[in-house]
Amino acid sequence: MDMDGDWPLPRPRTPFRIDRRRSAAALARKTSIASTFSSLAMPVVIEVVQRTKALATEVDPEAFHQLRVAFRKLRALYWAYSPWLGEEATAQASDEFKRLAAVAGGTRDWDIAGDLLRTAQKSDASIELLVSAAREKRAQAVAHSQALINSDTVEAFLNDAVLRAQTTLQSCCNDLPISTFAKKRVRMAQRTLRKRSRRAVRSEAGHEDNLHDVRKAGKKLRYLLEFFQPVIKGDHERTLKELTSVQKMLGEFNDIAASETLIRNTTFDAVPADVVEKSLQWLERKKCQRIEVASQRVKAISG
């Protein structure tokens, strides 16, 4: 969706006040649904703004990765509050978060592909040609991200989006406590993860897509637990550790699968077709190895 066409992004006339000392840890179980939204959203917004400002000169792959993660966290938070924010407002904000994450992620994708190709090069020196080409594609992705992610525009959009959400929530649930609501949304995210895990275990055709769906559902649950842990009962450290472990294995598989798709869909004018094919065959072998490990971990959490 083109958010510039559907949702203008002016700076809010009333500046959103940010209390930098307030964090999720300060949440109380009797705090209202409305007030918790800003206290959870604004630290992430501040991080995004700081990282987008640094993009003008930043080429560190981790910086691009963390920016993409921050946008994903905002998508998860908007999903959590969507029953009160409304479907249209949630979709508008989430689509823009997704677009910005994809722009930031282009550099990270080429970093991952480059690392994998350097490993493949150890077994076939000719792949060095593709490693060099991937390095050039990475530089192009950096320039693309820097051109499309304007810090002033992003800051204006985020302030406006949070202000709109806060206004909506204050008008409909300013006196409703967060604890019951948070537990309900976390349970829903847990059910989604379990459902997708079971589907992945049962499936054969489209297994890669199903594993990717499990990975996305796991991320959402992890982010919600991190957001709402102060206001929901129980010790969720074990769940978070398990999710982190599963996500690591699914991430390793996804890195290979995504790199294979990236290389297959990219034109390399200066690289012979047989060199590209060798790299794809290497990635396919690694993917087959990883899919078994990832599938076993998913099976373990599907129950």
For the chain, domains (ranges, CATH) are 23-301 (1.40.20.10)
State residue 271's pLDDT score.
Answer: 94
State residue 205's pLDDT score.
Answer: 58
The 10s digit of each residue's pLDDT in 258-267 is 999 999 999 9
State residue 31's pLDDT score.
Answer: 81
State the average pLDDT for the chain.
86
Tokens of residue 79, six digits? 């999903």
User: Which among 33, 45, 48 has a CA at the least distance from the CA of 81?
Assistant: 33
Given pLDDT bands bounded at 50, 70 and 90, which one contains residue 184?
Answer: very high
State residue 30's pLDDT score.
Answer: 65
Weakest-pLDDT range from 19-28, 104-113, 197-206: 19-28
Helix ranges (H only) for the chain are: 3-6, 33-54, 61-85, 87-121, 128-148, 151-172, 178-202, 207-228, 237-264, 273-301
The 10s digit of each residue's pLDDT in 152-168 is 999 999 999 999 999 99
Distance CA 271, CA 275 (A): 7
Higher pLDDT, residue 131 or 7: 131
Position 118, amino acid: R
Distance CA 44, CA 285 (A): 38
- Letter string b/e over residues 168-196, b meaning 16 or more CB atoms within 10 A of that residue's CB: bbbeebeeebbbebbbebbebbbebbbeb
